[in-house]
Amino acid sequence: MSAADLDEEESELKVETVDTSKPDTGYYEFKKFGDGILTIGCLGQPNVGKSSLINAIMGKKVLHQ
């Protein structure tokens, strides 16, 4: 890579600064079950039955292994 290529790459870099002195106090109103979609997360070790638990709660096979 030549020096001209490096100068061109550096000129394309964008730097964004974020003011962290003030905490984010913005408010976002969460709409429950928007569009009829519910998302559930389940964390755990492999092969402990996470998919089976979600399928049992739903009463049908919704997750595939």
What does the pLDDT look like over 21-56, one tens digit per residue? 877 778 877 777 777 777 778 889 999 999 898 889
Domain count, the chain: 1
Asked if residue 64 is part of any domain, the answer here is: no
Q: HEC profile for the chain?
A: CCHHHHHHHHHHCCCCCCCCCCCCCCCCCCCCCHHHCCCCCCCCCCCCCHHHHHHHHHCCCCCCC
In a domain, 32, yes or no: yes
**What per-residue confidence (pLDDT) applies to 45?**
93
The answer to the question of residue 7 being in a domain is yes
CA 18 centroid distance within chain: 21
Residue 22 domain-assigned?
Answer: yes
